[in-house]
Amino acid sequence: MIEVRDLRKEYGGFVAVEGSTFGVDSGEVFGVIGPNGAGKTTTLKAISGLLEPTSGSVRIGGRRADSRETRRLLGFLPEESPLYEEMSPRSYLRFFADLYDVPRDAADRRINETLDRLELAHRDRALGDMSKGMKRKVAIARSLVNDPDVLIYDEPASGLDPLTTNYIIEFTKELAAEGRTVVFSAHNLYHVEEVCDRVAIMNEGRIVTKGPLAELRDRYGERRYHVFTTVEVPDATAEGDRYRRVVDDVEALEAVRADAIERGGRLDDVRTVEPSLEGLFLDVASSEDRSAPGPTEN
């Protein structure tokens, strides 16, 4: 659905994005993650046809990102979305539906449905009097007025309280489950972990790695085992009436079991702890420093 090839964007002489290549399949949720200034917004704006690449190409459904046809099937949620403060959500959304030539009846139906799904009350109150979370929901509703197949969401839940953040993440999942393709940027890695099928990790304008999260975890993250025993074993910490030892592999786990039996106890429980994306990101960044691995294919 989305094909980004060798994307490069310079601002003046400054290279903000360089050599970005990736594809996003129809119905997929793809995360672009990385620290501030990594080039996420620039990438998302280029996909949305709002920024012309210095070189390279972006194609959506086989067409140029900045073509009229593409614009009709795309919904963009900017990182900061200034709303017209004196307008109500309803009049604001009608205004954008008009820009897309959505017939008034269909527009009103869609606006009501979307605001219902987003549980947004006070549809006729001025936007200026609304909370940050409510405004973000209106901006999300705006990205849906043309019923787009492709959604490009720049930090959709940034700076919101945990409840609203969770709500927006769940809503994004629903949009993907309806078959829409979603490209999503975040620097809070927890959000990405919740929603994305695959991710590209960016740093200083380049994609340092990309792929399914599980694969990136296998490549970079370390899985650990938390082993619980009924008796004290070396290097274990007491936890209630049990002892816990953290090990890296199955061999070490077996050794803890043997230690427990030797001391007259037994293995009580084992929990596998997957590395968090946060840890994974640090691993990728540090292996970049050491060996600068090239980006992998899709």
Ligand X SMILES: Nc1ncnc2c1ncn2[C@@H]1O[C@H](COP(=O)(O)OP(=O)(O)OP(=O)(O)O)[C@@H](O)[C@H]1O
**Interacting residues with ligand X (CB under 6 A):** 11, 14, 16, 34, 36-42, 79, 187
Q: Compute the least distance from the CB of residue 44 to ligand X, in Å.
A: 8
**CA atoms of 147 and 97, how far apart (whole Å):** 10
196, 145, 148, 146: which is closest to 172 by C-alpha? 196
Per-residue buried b or exposed e for 92-131, using 16+ beta carbons within 10 Å of the residue's own CB:
bbbebbeeeebeeeebeebbeebbeebebeebeebbeebe
15, 17, 14: which is closest to 57 by C-alpha? 17
Q: Which is nearer to ligand X, 24 or 202 (CB)?
A: 202
Q: Compute the least distance from the CB of residue 284 to ligand X, in Å.
A: 15
Pairing of strands 2-11, 55-60: antiparallel
Q: Which is nearer to ligand X, 157 or 256 (CB)?
A: 157
Q: Compute the least distance from the CB of residue 26 to ligand X, in Å.
A: 25
Q: Compute the least distance from the CB of residue 77 to ligand X, in Å.
A: 13
Q: Which is nearer to ligand X, 79 or 288 (CB)?
A: 79
Q: Compute the least distance from the CB of residue 46 to ligand X, in Å.
A: 9
Q: Which is nearer to ligand X, 158 or 230 (CB)?
A: 158
Upper half-sphere CA count for residue 81 (Cβ side, 13 Å): 26
Q: Which is nearer to ligand X, 37 or 212 (CB)?
A: 37
Token pair 């078959």 is found at: 179
DSSP state of 105: H
